[in-house]
Structure 1
Amino acid sequence: MKRYMYRSTIRRADSAESFAEAFASSRTELETSLMSAGVRAFSLFRWDRHLFAYLETDGDAFRLEFPPALQARLEAWPGEEEPRYAVPMVDIFHDGEPIDRIRWRAGRSVEESVGALARLKPEQYASYVFYHYQMQEEQPETFNQTYLIGSHERLLFSYSERPASLSGRPRTGKLRTKHTPNDWQEVMEPHFEPWTDAGEDERLWRKLERICSFGTMTT
């Protein structure tokens, strides 16, 4: 089992409302296509023109493809011969690491799939990744095995499922050091560019609108 994160952008010529209408018409086609490609869980989130997807797949190789009706409303990313309407995000932190889908999903309920978005200060990117890798490998699976952070450019997309859960059988981390800061929040705050249009509880990480989910919710 593999987990992936992707980012897409709605065209400037289209509104969030027009994309929502196109998505409603294409949702069944999208879900059928994803399941045929081995996707067993999928969540799509939105903020403004930005879309963020979380997926769980059975295979090792996967590329997110949207139906033509949705591609027509998305910006094409450069960098490859064929146009891409979704680009992969880099996994820079994961609290848990699934072995297989049965053990990953067994024995826990999911009330909510949560996506959140943050902006890193460019000069703080390396520091942020350093601290998170250090914590990931010094203290694997300590607060929510489903918590995952992906990056693309200076945007960070986090995904998690609530209530928080632990497998009870955490892997052995790659580091034997114990340097993860105890004052974690204080150390992290200078890395972010705060959201000035959000409430205090979303000043650093703003909650995203969830457009759809399948394969995750149990209640």
Structure 2
Amino acid sequence: MDRQMYISYLKNALDENSQLKLIHGIKKASNQWFGEGLLSFSLFLRDRVLCVYVEMVVHNPAFDWAIVVNTDVEPWPYLKGPRYSALMPDIFHDGVPVDPDSWRSGRTIERRSGSLARLKPDMVASYVFYHYQAQEEKPEHFNKTYVIGLHGTWIFSYGESPAVVSENKPLGKLATRQTPDNWHEVMDPHFDKWPNDVIWSPMQHLITLER
């Protein structure tokens, strides 16, 4: 089982009718996606930015969900032709799914949350370093569904409520204990903040589809 995140940039802001059109296009395409191994699809919106979180049976680098609305989003340059959604590599995850049954078994999802933040260009490497260190020193520390993806200086976080961790936590790849205790103080300089000193801007949850 694999989790993937994507970002797309709209040519224009979506009004209510445009949102309905987008959701209709996704629902229409979802049967094909499910047939190709998609397990779950969640779409989030902030201004002209769309972010997607998906769960798949196996990693599928060719998945380009936004092809269904390609006239509404900016194309990304790609070696094999334009893509309409850009993959956001996982730079932090609190947990790792093994298979769909163990990942979903025995829990109810009350809320799916997506948030968007921006890093300062010269702080991206530092942000990734600290998060990898925390991820491998403290696996399943607070919510195994929480994950962060990166594209350029944009970062997107996804998580589900209520938070959940396994009874038997996995071992991380690092035996060190150097994650700073003053985490938020260390992280603060990394961000190109939104107005009013906001770091993570909550996104509007438009739709979730599950197989």
- TM-score, normalising length: structure 1: 0.90
Q: Which residue of 2 aligns with 1:123?
A: 122
Q: How far 1:21 sits from its partner (Å)?
A: 3.6
For 1:156, what is the secondary structure of its paired residue? Answer: strand
Give distance in 2, aligned partners of 1:72 and 1:126: 34
Q: CA deviation at 1:73?
A: 1.1
Identity of aligned residues (%): 40
AA of the residue aligned to 1:115: G
Task: Return the alpha-carbon distance in structure 1 between the equivalents of residues 190 and 7 of structure 2.
Answer: 21
- Specify which of 14, 17, 31 is matched with residue 16 of structure 1: 14
The residue correspondences of 1:1-219 to structure 2 (distance < 5 A) are: 1-11=1-11, 14-17=12-15, 19-66=18-65, 70-196=69-195, 203-215=198-210
Q: Is the 8 A contact 1:3 1:54 kept in 2?
A: yes
Are the equivalent residues in 1 in contact too, given 2:3–2:59 (CA < 8 A)?
A: no
CA distance in 2, matches of 1:125, 1:19: 34
Hey, what's the Cα distance between the residues in 1 that align with 2:134 and 2:90? 14
Aligned residues: 210
- Aligned residue identity for 1:183: N
Structure 1 counterpart of 2:202, one-letter code: K
Distance 2:24 2:132 in 1: 41
The runs of 5 or more residues in structure 1 that have no matched partner are none
Q: What is the TM-score when the length of structure 2 is the normalising length?
A: 0.93
Determine helix, strand or coil for the equivalent of 1:104: helix
- 1:135, 1:68 → 2: CA distance? 35
Tell me which stretches of 4 or more aligned residues in structure 1 moved more than 4 Å: none
**CA deviation profile, 1:168-202 (whole Å, cap 9, x unmatched):** 222211111100111111111111111105xx6xx
RMSD: 1.7
Structure 2: gaps (5+ residues): none
Q: Which deviates the most, 60-69 or 100-109?
A: 60-69
Counterpart-to-counterpart distance in 1, 2:61 and 2:78: 18
Q: Secondary structure at the match of 1:32?
A: helix
* 1:92–1:66 distance in 2 versus 1, CA, 3 Å: closer
**Alpha-carbon distance change, 41 to 91 in structure 1, aligned in 2, over 3 angstroms:** same
Q: 1:76 to 1:139 in 2, by over 3 A?
A: same
